[in-house]
Amino acid sequence: MDEWGAVLDVQSSEGAIIINGLRVPTDELEYVIKRMGNTLHAVTPEGLLPLVVRSRHFYKLRGLEEPGPPTLEIDGVHMHRIAGTDPWKDALSKVRNARVRSGHKVLDTCMGLGYTAIASLRRGATVVTVEKDPNVIQLAEWNPWSWELVKAEIYNDDVSTFIKRVEDETFDRIIHDPPVITMAGELYSREFYEELYRVLKRGGVLFHYTGSPKRRSGVDLARGVMERLREAGFEEVRRAPDALGVVARKSR
Residue 12 and residue 3: Cα distance in Å, rounded?
25
> What pLDDT, on a 0 to 100 scale, did the predictor assign at position 182?
84
Strand order in the sheet with 22-25: 10-13, 16-19, 22-25
> What pLDDT, on a 0 to 100 scale, did the predictor assign at position 145?
93
pLDDT band at 4 (very low <50, low <70, confident <90, very high): very low
Q: What is the pLDDT of residues 68-80, one digit of tens each?
A: 889 998 998 878 8
Burial readout 82-104 (b: 16 or more C-beta within 10 A, e: otherwise): beebbbbbbbbbbbebbebeeeb
Q: What is the mean pLDDT of residues 108-124?
A: 98
Phi, psi angle pair for 247, to nearest 5°: -115, 140
Q: Which CATH number does 87-249 carry?
A: 3.40.50.150
Q: Degrees (nearest 5) of the Cα angle 238, 239, 243?
A: 135
Q: What is the mean pLDDT of residues 94-106?
A: 98
Q: What is the pLDDT of residues 219-228, one digit of tens each?
A: 789 999 999 9
> What pLDDT, on a 0 to 100 scale, did the predictor assign at position 36?
61
Can you give the pTM of this predicted structure? 0.85
Share of the chain above pLDDT 70, in %: 83
Q: What is the pLDDT of residues 154-181, one digit of tens each?
A: 999 999 999 999 999 999 999 999 998 8
Least confident of 55-64, 124-133, 140-149: 55-64
Q: 217 pLDDT exceeds 70?
A: no
Residue 71 and residue 243: Cα distance in Å, rounded?
17
**Strand pairing partners for 209?**
245
Contact 94, 200 (CB under 8 A): no
CATH 3.40.50.150 segments of the chain: 87-249
Q: 202 pLDDT exceeds 60?
A: yes
Mean pLDDT comparison of 3-7, 29-33, 167-171, highest-scoring range:
167-171
Residues 6+ apart with CB under 8 A from 68: 86, 87, 88, 145
Residue 219 C-beta-side C-alpha neighbours within 13 Å: 9
